[in-house]
Amino acid sequence: MFIVVPYLTSNPNTYGVYSICISFAIFLSYADLGFMGAGQKYVAEYFAKGDIDGEIKVIAFTNFILLIFLVLFSIVFFAFSLQPALLVKGLYTYSEIHIASTLLLILAIFTPTTLLQRLLQMIFGTRMEDFIIQRVNIIGSMLKILSVIWFFRKGNYDIIGYFLFTQIINLLAAIVTLFIARKRYNYNFRLLFRSMHFNKAVFDQTKSLAFTSLFITISWIFYYELDSVAIGKFLGANQVAIYAIGLTVLTFFRSIFSILFSPFNVRFNHFVGSGDESILQSFYLQIVTILAPVVVFPIIVIAILARPIVFTWVGTDYSDSVLIIQFLVFCNVLAFISYPTNFMLIAMERQKTLYFVNTILPFVFWIGIFFTINVLGVHSFALFKLVAFLFSGIVLYRLMIDYLKLTISESLRKIFLPMLLPIIFLIVASFLIRDYLPHEKSKINLLTVAAATGSLIVVSFLLQYFVSEKWREQITKTLGLLKNS
């Protein structure tokens, strides 16, 4: 974020096109394409029972379905590469059209890489060892960061070369991780790939939950992935770039929270598979109470310090991005509730509830934009993304306390009250230092702002450690485990 983005944003129109491609790539890496979510549930249950053959059959079938989706996406990206103006408004020069066309073509070619990534996520995630994937990806990310020196050196802005290089690194990282899985688990990939075809038995087993999951995916496409496309089509590539700064921060939090919460998804399915609902309820409440500060504290600081962060990071040309960041970063403020509650709903196969919750998001989002885009412009997308998230979060909060058999006052006392003092400190301290932080774009100034932001977050965690006995016990236990590992 802090190293690569300042280079890319020097050309807003090109960065806007690049942001659309990255948005598609991220969607393919993280989105649940129907049978994947259902498959993950049953794979975890088979693994908990020691049925490896059942696990392989489900992984093979769900990834066969994914492959069909990926081929369709690849064809669509290829079609847009022939006529990029159909996707992005405001491409006037030959250079801009050429860059847009080539980026979309690269995306079309490397879309199948997602198959390997998602397959490996299922294998490692089921064993709660997806940290191995992250280790390989960290090495790949370091290479991507270092490559910036070459692709964006003085007098050179090779965004095509950079995007191609990042896609090659993604493919190589997936191949390396594949070999690690083969060696670590003695995994029968030959049987897995031979089984990658339509399987009626697995289809009948997963179809009910899968169609619910597919509906969720479509809902999230409308809510999460079409904003950049709509902005590019109706407002132009320059406005995509303005919006993309906020979207980059939102994506950063999405990635962090996905890594943070994904192992718990597997455990939910393990508990359901073994019939331990009382343990599941206790585990559920523990996740919410322990991770609430981890989610809330950084979001508060970044929202309040958004102006110095944006100005020192990408410059004053992106001043309109400040409010967008503030709206979008608060979209995740209830992530400590939404992630585990969605895991619970899927694990318990509460399909009607899933339909309702995931209908709210795109409906509120696009209705709000329809009525305000002519007044608020690009800011309407950020505002109603937040409104939709909060509305959905309130519904999920109610579902959570009902499942845990808590009253509203009990939930406030157990979850929110221990965070009160650190939150007050963060708000007061952030407002006090905001105007004294640098506001000019430079690496030193950005490091200064980052250090100030990090210091406030660390102090807030220390306060939480001393005011919350349960949080202190959990942190002490975790540090003890790390020390002995």
Mean of pLDDT values over 213-232: 73
More confident residue, 203 or 192: 192
Are 184 and 17 within 8 A, CB to CB? Answer: no
CA distances from 485 to 34, 200, 260, 444 (A): 37, 44, 19, 37
Instruction: Out of 74-78, 125-129, 198-202, 207-211, pick the least confident.
Output: 207-211
- The residue assigned the tokens 């029968």 is 188
Give the pLDDT of residue 442: 87
Distance, CA of 7 to CA of 3 (rounded, Å):
8
pLDDT above 90: percentage of residues in the chain? 22
What confidence tier does 386 reach under pLDDT thresholds 50, 70, 90?
very high
Alpha helix positions (H), 275-333: 277-304, 306-313, 321-329
CB atoms within 10 A of CB 179: 10
Is the predicted pLDDT of residue 454 greater than 90, yes or no? yes
Distance, CA of 343 to CA of 404 (rounded, Å):
14
For all residues of the chain together, what is the average pLDDT?
82
What confidence tier does 3 reach under pLDDT thresholds 50, 70, 90?
low
pLDDT above 70: percentage of residues in the chain? 86
Q: What is the pLDDT of residues 217-226, one digit of tens each?
A: 677 677 767 7
Q: What is the pLDDT of residues 406-419, one digit of tens each?
A: 888 988 888 888 89
Most confident of the following: 27-31, 40-44, 96-100, 373-377: 373-377
CB atoms within 10 A of CB 200: 9
CA distances from 209 to 37, 41, 185, 396 (A): 8, 10, 29, 19
Are 237 and 12 within 8 A, CB to CB? Answer: yes
Is the predicted pLDDT of residue 11 greater than 70, yes or no? no
Give the pLDDT of residue 2: 61
Domain regions of the chain by residue span: 1-203, 276-485
DSSP 225-272: IHHHHHHHHHT-HHHHHHHHHHHHHHHHHHHHHHHHHHHHHHHHHHHH
DSSP code of residue 12: H
- The residue assigned the tokens 């508060």 is 300
Q: What is the pLDDT of residues 234-274, one digit of tens each?
A: 887 778 888 888 888 887 888 788 778 877 776 776 666 66
The gap from C-alpha 423 to its chain's centroid, in whole angstroms, comes to 24
Give the pLDDT of residue 193: 82
Q: What is the pLDDT of residues 153-170, one digit of tens each?
A: 777 778 889 889 999 999
